[in-house]
Amino acid sequence: MFKYYLLKVLRNKIYLFWCLVFPLGIMACMNAAFGNIYNIENSIDPVKTIVVAESDSAYAEGFCDLVDEFADESAETKYFDMVEADGRKDAMEILKDGGAEVLFVAGDSDIEVCLSESHTETAGMVAKTVADTYRSNFKLISEAYMTSPEKAQEMIENLASRKTFTEVDMGAFSDDPNPYVWYFYSTLVMGLFFTAMSGVNLVGDLKADVSEEAARLSLSPSSKSKMIWYAFIARLIPSVIISVIHLAFMRLVFQISLGSNVFRLILFVVVCNIFAISFGVICGLLFKGSVNTRGNKTTGVLMVSVFLSGEMVMQLPGIIEKYCPIVNDINPATVMNMAFYRMALYNDPFDFYMNMGKLVIAAVVFLTIGVLVLRREKYASV
């Protein structure tokens, strides 16, 4: 029996298109359109850089330490290749000869940035970003010291662990996500969430007042509970495989970072698929009409959910978080998106497990209701 439940799912072309092919197509299009930009961002060649400290101040010292950090061979991202110079004049000569692209001159309270004539755009961008970030961070910390030394210390610690400086906790939406990666993750979640359609079909297969085939099953002596679990697992297995295919394409073909924790990745895929199918079951039970009607209505719900999660407008979850955070908390696509984003990019287990917990609780509730309703064998009308 299980074999046929599985065959039915695997031969469902609409399901395979929306859950497997469509997300892969979107990913391929995104890769074709924006892949090069992303690759440039992620493969910056170290810029030949000179730092001249014209002061012994904490300001100048701090900046020299920061540049050294970015020049460290063992650092995850090495932006600078340091070039030695004996004072500003010597440095200017080297810059002129093309021995370096960037010169930082650290003074008492400011950073002067000089670029060689032949500097690349990337070198200019990196130099400007580092200098600007240092200026603003130093200012913030100095002001904090004046008002609250403890707060300033906390900010320095946060800076060391590369956390944000925002005083108001914006939760999961405080970081500015990398748009390219974000859209890949959103597309993965979209494909995963579309699995809900197979949950709607499960209702059509087993609820005797929805389809004639289901009525036929209800009239047989086979256990309804067993049929429900067969049908559920026959949907879960292909869905998980599809998600793994998506992840494999993301990592191996599109070179998208998926984080380093395989256990969490597997947990994410399994939990989200279980949730998506159970969500489809609930939609299939709540909506009235034929299986197609129920499916169409569910598609509408999925589309809205995916849209609100930022699939098309990346900033949308942040805006929602500001004005109506409850929507983000109850929107399944956002919860899945954020869980994946935090897990893969920030290695943030607390946020990840919080979101997984929400999905597990919802899936348990949905499945319990679904099983109780679907195992019914007698109806008020058929």
Q: Which of 222, 290, 293, 368 binds other proteins (CB under 8 A)?
A: 222
In three-state secondary structure terms, 126 is: helix
Q: Quick check: 7 binds other proteins (CB under 8 A)?
A: yes
Distance CA 276, CA 366 (A): 10
Give the angle 110-115-121 at the CA atoms, nearest 5°: 115
**Least distance to other proteins from the beta carbon of 4, Å?**
5
Q: In what order do the strands lie in the sheet with 111-115?
A: 80-82, 47-53, 102-106, 111-115
Query: What region, left, alpha or beta, does residue 238 occupy, with left being phi > 0 and alpha being psi -120 to 50 degrees?
Result: alpha
Nearer CB in complex with other proteins: 120/211: 211
Q: Quick check: 61 binds other proteins (CB under 8 A)?
A: no
**Least distance to other proteins from the beta carbon of 284, Å?**
17
179-193 helix and 224-248 helix, angle to the nearest 10 degrees:
160
Stretch that binds other proteins, among 1-9, 59-67, 104-112, 232-240 (CB under 8 A): 1-9
In three-state secondary structure terms, 111 is: strand
Q: Which of 77, 146, 147, 221 binds other proteins (CB under 8 A)?
A: 221
**Least distance to other proteins from the beta carbon of 266, Å?**
29
Chain centre to alpha carbon of residue 63: 32
Nearer CB in complex with other proteins: 43/381: 381
**Contacts with other proteins, 201-220, as mask; x by CB under 8 A:** -------x--xxx-xxxxxx
Site for other proteins in 8-37 (CB under 8 A): 8, 11-12
Q: Quick check: 377 binds other proteins (CB under 8 A)?
A: yes
**Contacts with other proteins, 324-343, as mask; x by CB under 8 A:** --------------------
Handedness of CA 201, 202, 203, 207 (dihedral sign): positive
Nearer CB in complex with other proteins: 31/195: 195
Distance CA 312, CA 305 (A): 11
Q: Which pair of tokens denotes residue 232?
A: 């559920």
Chain centre to alpha carbon of residue 193: 14
Stretch that binds other proteins, among 6-14, 242-250, 288-296, 358-366 (CB under 8 A): 6-14
Binding site for other proteins (CB under 8 A): 1, 4, 7-8, 11-12, 208, 211-213, 215-222, 377-382
